[in-house]
């Protein structure tokens, strides 16, 4: 039985195959494929032609082992369902795009255990850097990051002790700032609605900053509601209904994120509340979605895109040598929208 003239290669192609096909040494082929060193135009063409013809794809594993260089940046985030994280990622990807570096994403589902696992897994690929959400990590995780001897950028939150570099906002300050804005507009009977997530440190810090500032002027959070899972918009409605039913004298609702806030806003509008005359509302994050709602919900922009870009910028700078322990604190912008401003300026 004659064999077909073009037998597909059973063994993946190697440099050697390209070397043989082009009559050029492996070393020179390697140089051509990496654009390194001086190679004559003639050999260069021969090599590229042979590689193209064979459909050769270099083996980065071998390359990485030989050169001890891996052009990957580990990006570790809690979730992909919450749009804020993909947004950070987009910023990272944008900045990395002009470079040799590539982002690799790991998701922890807000679990410290999974975070350790994902981190371990990623570090075992010896990435050029780590960008990780949050500043709270298990001691084991911190140990791993320190021991890895690669640049580490903790992002989104600056309230705490970073392992190395940090880029983000102060959620405590954000909470305070919102409290100030609310009080300034004359609201006094304030309710809080948020996620039932003991591990959402950023939400906790905002809440702490918020209540702290209220306390200073003799106010407190009069009622609260928490949720977990499900459609945030729908949960926002349900929680708002429950809270207003229980505490009808509330005059302001502070939501821990924009989606539940949007749900609450839609609910209140349907029920005919006078907003913000009778009832004010505010969310958190500054998500794009808000722009299409009947009213603009007050919120605070958390600059996710910018955070991603800055974090990536630090990794890129470190790859070129130097640096260490950078700290970038961004200032969240408050926007009063149509649900917080009672006194016209």
Partner DNA sequence: GTGAAAGCGCTAACAC
Partner DNA sequence: GTGTTAGCGCTTTCAC
Q: Applying CB under 8 A, which residues contact a copy of itself?
A: 8, 12, 55, 57-62, 64-65, 70, 80-81, 83, 86-87, 89-90, 93, 102, 104-105, 107, 120-121, 123-126, 143-144, 147-149, 231-237, 262-263, 266, 270, 288-289, 291-294
For a copy of itself, the closer of residues 35 and 124 by Cβ is: 124
The smaller minimum CB distance to DNA, of residues 65 and 80, is found at 65
Give which of 316, 334, 341, 337 is closest to 129, Cα–Cα: 316
Q: Which three-class secondary structure state does DSSP give residue 294?
A: coil
State how far the alpha carbon of 92 is from the alpha carbons of 71, 86, 203, 290, in Å.
14, 10, 23, 24
C-alpha closest to that of 168 among 302, 312, 73, 78: 302
Compute the distance between CA of residue 193 and CA of residue 290 in angstroms, rounded to an integer: 18
Which residue do the tokens 């082992």 mark? 65
Q: How far is the CB of 135 from a copy of itself (least distance, A)?
A: 21
How far is Cα 118 from Cα 124, in angstroms, rounded to an integer? 10
Question: Phi, psi (5° rounding) for residue 155?
Answer: -125, 165
Q: Report the alpha-carbon distance of residue 27 to residue 230 in Å, rounded.
A: 57
* Residue 80 contact, options DNA, a copy of itself, none, Cβ 5-8 Å cut-off depending on partner type: a copy of itself
Least Cβ distance, residue 196 to a copy of itself (angstroms): 18
Site string for DNA, 40-69 (x = CB under 7 A): x-xxx-------------xx--xx-xxxxx
**Shorter beta-carbon distance to a copy of itself: residue 12 or 345:** 12
149 binds DNA per the rule CB under 7 A: no
Burial of residue 158, with CB atoms counted within 10 A of its CB: 0-12 exposed, 13-18 middle, 19 or more buried? buried
Does 37 sit near DNA (CB under 7 A)?
yes
The distance of closest approach from Cβ of residue 9 to DNA in the complex, given in angstroms and rounded to an integer, is 11
Q: Does 34 bind DNA (CB under 7 A)?
A: yes
Q: Which of 8, 10, 21, 39 binds DNA (CB under 7 A)?
A: 39
Report the candidate in 288, 242, 284 with the shortest Cα–Cα distance to residue 267.
Answer: 242
Q: Residue 2 touches which of a copy of itself, DNA, none (CB < 5 to 8 A by kind)? A: none
Q: Which residue has the tokens 């390697």?
A: 30
104 binds, among a copy of itself, DNA, none (CB under 5 to 8 A by kind): a copy of itself
Q: Are 248 and 271 contacting, i.e. CB atoms less than 8 angstroms apart?
A: no
Asked if residue 16 binds DNA (CB under 7 A), the reply is yes
The residues that touch DNA, with contacts defined as CB under 7 A, are 11-12, 14-16, 24-28, 30-31, 33-34, 36-40, 42-44, 58-59, 62-63, 65-69
């Amino acid at each position: 039985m004659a064999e077909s003239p073009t037998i597909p290669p059973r063994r993946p192609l190697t440099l050697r195959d390209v070397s043989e096909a082009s009559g050029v040494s492996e070393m020179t082929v390697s140089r051509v494929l990496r654009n390194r060193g001086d190679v004559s135009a003639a050999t260069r063409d021969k090599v590229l032609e042979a590689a193209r013809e064979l459909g050769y794809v270099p083996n980065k594993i071998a390359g990485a082992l030989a050169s001890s260089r891996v052009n990957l940046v580990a990006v570790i985030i809690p979730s992909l369902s919450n749009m804020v994280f993909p947004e950070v990622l987009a910023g990272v990807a944008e900045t990395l795009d002009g470079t040799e570096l590539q982002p690799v994403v790991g998701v922890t589902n807000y679990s410290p255990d999974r975070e350790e696992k994902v981190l371990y897994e990623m570090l075992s690929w010896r990435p050029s850097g780590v960008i990780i959400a949050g500043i709270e990590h298990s001691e084991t995780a911190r140990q791993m990051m320190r021991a890895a001897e690669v640049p580490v950028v903790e992002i989104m939150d600056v309230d705490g002790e970073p392992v190395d570099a940090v880029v983000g906002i102060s959620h405590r300050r954000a909470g305070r700032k919102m409290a100030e804005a609310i009080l300034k507009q004359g609201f006094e009977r304030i309710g809080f609605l948020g996620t039932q997530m003991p591990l959402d440190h950023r939400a906790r810090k905002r809440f702490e900053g918020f209540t702290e500032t209220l306390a200073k002027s003799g106010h407190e959070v009069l009622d609260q509601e928490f949720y977990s899972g499900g459609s945030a918009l729908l949960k926002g409605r349900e929680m708002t209904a429950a809270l207003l039913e229980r505490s009808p004298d509330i005059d302001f609702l502070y939501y821990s994120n924009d989606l539940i806030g949007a749900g609450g806003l839609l609910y209140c509008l349907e029920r005919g509340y006078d907003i913000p005359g009778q009832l004010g509302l505010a969310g958190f994050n500054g998500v794009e979605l808000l722009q299409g709602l009947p009213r603009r919900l007050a919120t605070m922009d958390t600059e996710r895109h910018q955070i991603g870009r800055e974090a990536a910028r630090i990794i890129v700078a470190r790859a070129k040598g130097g640096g260490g322990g950078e700290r970038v604190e961004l200032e969240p912008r408050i926007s009063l929208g149509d649900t917080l401003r009672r006194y016209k300026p």
